[in-house]
Amino acid sequence: MNRIGSGLKFFTSELVLGSLVAILSVLAAVSGYQSSMADSDQTKNNVLGQQMLTDANAEYLTANQMIVYDYTMYDGWYMTDDADKEEYYQLSFSPELQASIAANESDPFSDAYYEAMHAAPQAMFDEADRFYEVAEQWNERGDALQLVLLVSALALAFAAWASLLGAESRVRLFFAVFSIIGLVYSLMLYVAVPVVAG
The per-residue b/e assignment along 57-84, b for 16 or more CB within 10 angstroms, e otherwise, is eebbeebeeebeebeebbeebeeeeeee
| Among the ranges given (57-61, 89-93, 121-125, 137-141), the one the predictor scored with the smallest mean pLDDT | 89-93
Q: Which domain holds residue 96?
A: 2-191
Identify the residue with better confidence: 164 or 117: 117
pLDDT tens profile 31-87? 999 999 999 999 999 999 999 999 999 999 999 999 999 999 989 888 888 888 888
Q: Does any domain span residue 196?
A: no
If you compute the radius of gyration of the chain from its CA atoms, what whole number of angstroms results?
Answer: 33
> 139-193: per-residue pLDDT in tens?
999 999 999 999 999 999 999 998 887 777 788 888 899 999 999 999 999 999 9
**pLDDT of 9-22, one tens digit each?**
666 778 888 899 99
Question: What is the structure's pLDDT at 82?
Answer: 83
What is the model's pLDDT at position 6?
A: 56
Phi-psi region of 94 (alpha: psi -120 to 50; beta: other; left: phi over 0): beta
| 4 vs 59, higher pLDDT | 59
Q: Would residue 43 count as lying in a domain?
A: yes
In the chain, how many domains are there? 1
Nearest alpha-carbon partner for 47 in 134, 149, 146:
134
The region that residue 196 occupies, defined by phi over 0 for left and psi between -120 and 50 for alpha, beta otherwise, is beta
Q: Is residue 198 part of a domain?
A: no
The answer to whether residue 32 is domain-embedded is: yes
DSSP H helix total and E strand total for the chain: 7, 0
pLDDT of residue 11: 63
Q: Could you give the CA distance from residue 77 to residue 118 in angstroms, rounded to a whole number? A: 23
Is the separation of the CB atoms in 117 and 176 below 8 Å?
A: no
Which of 93-98's residues contact partners 24+ apart within 8 Å by CB, and which partners?
94/66, 94/69, 94/70, 96/70, 97/70, 97/73
- What is the Cα–Cα distance from 31 to 123, expressed in whole angstroms? 36
Residue 127 belongs to a domain: yes
pTM of the model: 0.79
Asked if residue 127 has pLDDT above 60, the reply is yes
Query: Which pLDDT score, from 0 to 100, does residue 169 have?
Result: 78
Flag whether 197 is in a domain: no
